[in-house]
Amino acid sequence: MTYSIHEALQRIGVVDQPAAVAVGTKWQTGAGELLTGKSPIDGSTLATFNEATLGDVGLVVDTAQSAFLKWREVPAPRRGEFVRLLGEALREHKADLATIVSWEAGKITQEAIGEVQEMIDICDFAVGLSRQLYGKTIASERPGHRLMEQWHPLGPIGVISAFNFPVAVWAWNAMLAFVCGDTVIWKPSEKTPLCAIACQQIVNQVAQNFPEAPNGISNLIIGGAEIGNALAEHHDVPLISATGSIPMGRAVATTVAKRLGRSLLELGGNNAMIVTESADLEMTVRSALFSAVGTCGQRCTSLRRLIVHESIADQLLSALKNAYQRLPIGNPLEPGTLVGPLVDQRALETMQHALKTAKQQGGIVHFGHQIDETEYADGCYVHPAIVEMPGQTDIVQQETFAPILYVMRYRTLDEAIEMHNAVPQGLSSAIMTNDIRQAEQFLSPAGSDCGIANVNVGPSGAEIGGAFGGEKETGGGRESGSDAWKAYMRRTTNTINYSTELPLAQGIKFDL
């Protein structure tokens, strides 16, 4: 299936010079700074165009707001039909979109296809949801009264997304937003603009053939942090859903809070796996490997800390080192490659700096060197690192967005859980064990403090059916499955009096 990114874009219908702004189906060139999109695969330039300016934000929000006024009145199951058609279009363009993801984000083909599958899955989920936006009926304390709640559309939703899941994270948000009766304004990462342009183009084509879809149901604005900030400040954007670094999330949350808006944050993780003395070691190596080196360690759910019982630590380490030794690293488009490049030079420098710091803090570093692949010109290829640490030092408590796996030993499970929770982030976690008591302790209120806690499954690679997100500095938001849709709607509580009396709640008497 390997054809060029340009062929893939063409098959999706992106034929013109890329433009930074989509006001609904109308593309507009930006007048901001020049953006040069480079591929992490070989450093080649994929796109050059001008970013949006602050002036574009108002136009896009106004369009999304007028579209919202129409879309909110379309019956939810019809909104579901729109999303069903989007799912069909994604199925048709699965390979095309995956190719663009690989070129822009450096993902191996398997993972790029998996990411598009995640989009298709959330479409299917959202279609079903469109007939299940249930409110409760509540028994009233007053005779002849009924209480009920309804969920209503919220408004234009601002979606700020990161480079590492350049299409799926938008889809988690957008598909739920669409069935909830909301419109969307997307500010993607400047590192993956073509992924965003391709998705917008797919929505445009479906929207143009769907009579009830107003122009401006889906909008795109490509630019830097100042664009994200302007969206966060805008009173007509009731919810900002932001995925990315903790500092970015802190800035967005503060700005949104100032105007008392809502934010849904999905920020950094520092995900760990506890490996107990009863774990299946062969399974542990396989699941740790996928979670630690998949997407070259650039998932927010990537495994970063391995907390191993001292009795099996040497054995596990040697099996892991053996697996790392044999990792196929290189061009992510080539079949068989398991580790593609880091996203850019800066990511490479951050990784090398973290490894140096870990050494200073007593770490023993295995692998982790840059791979000088002359074949791929300026690609940023590294050999994923394993670092044996004497304890959970400062550097281990930070999220370094690169394939570094810190390994620490423990004696008792209480001590392991304490170490597990002693970091500022709280996204995903796992325990490898065949002991039901250990598994249940890890899942209990006194166990993992993360939003995601798994047994005999690594911390990355969640299915879309569950709510996705985490606690503490991860930001507390939940996206994707379960009842995450509620964040995209507003709840009204209704009291209906069908009697001829007017009793007051709490038995209050208030008669003249």
**Contacting positions for ligand UN1 (CB under 6 A):** 118, 164-165, 169, 243, 299-301, 460-462
Closer CB to ligand UN1, residue 438 or residue 480?
Answer: 480
The residue (of 93 and 299) whose beta carbon lies closer to ligand UN1 is 299
- Contact between 296 and 403 (Cβ < 8 Å): yes
Q: Which residues share a beta bridge with 21? A: 28, 221
| Cβ nearer to ligand UN1, comparing 51 with 266 | 266
Q: Which of 115, 190, 266, 473 is catalytic?
A: 266
Q: Which is nearer to ligand UN1, 425 or 438 (CB)?
A: 425
Encode 119-183 in three state secondary structure: HHHHHHHHHHHCCCCCCCEEECCCCCEEEEEEEEECCEEEEECCCCCCCHHHHHHHHHHHHCCCE
Residue 359: CB minimum distance to ligand UN1, A: 27
Q: Tell me 434's DSSP state.
A: S
Q: Judged by CB, which is closer to ligand UN1: 168, or 386?
A: 168
Q: How far is 177 from 214, CA to CA, in rounded Å?
A: 14
**DSSP calls for 186-249:** EE--TT-HHHHHHHHHHHHHHHHT-TT--TTSEEEE---HHHHHHHHH-TT--EEEEES-HHHH
What is the smallest separation between the CB atom of 463 and ligand UN1, expressed in angstroms? 7
SS (H, E, C) 171-203: HHHHHHHHHCCCEEEEECCCCCHHHHHHHHHHH
Q: Which is nearer to ligand UN1, 245 or 421 (CB)?
A: 245
Q: CA torsion 43→44→47→50, rounded to 10°?
A: 60
Q: Is 190 a catalytic residue?
A: no
Buried b (16+ CB within 10 A) or exposed e, 319-348: bbeebbeebebbbbbeeebbbbbbbbeebb
- Do 38 and 20 contact (CB within 8 A), yes or no? no
Q: Which residue is nearest to ligand UN1 (CB)?
A: 462
The residue (of 379 and 461) whose beta carbon lies closer to ligand UN1 is: 461
- CB 470, min distance to ligand UN1, A: 11
3-state secondary structure of 460: coil
How is the beta sheet containing 239-243 ordered, strand by strand? Answer: 26-28, 21-23, 218-221, 183-187, 156-160, 239-243, 262-266
Least distance between ligand UN1 and beta carbon 490 (Å)? 26
Cβ 266 to ligand UN1, closest distance in Å?
Answer: 6
User: Closest distance between ligand UN1 and the C-beta of residue 166, in Å?
Assistant: 10
Beta-bridge partners for 60: none
Give least dist CB 302 to ligand UN1, A. 8
Catalytic residue annotation: 266
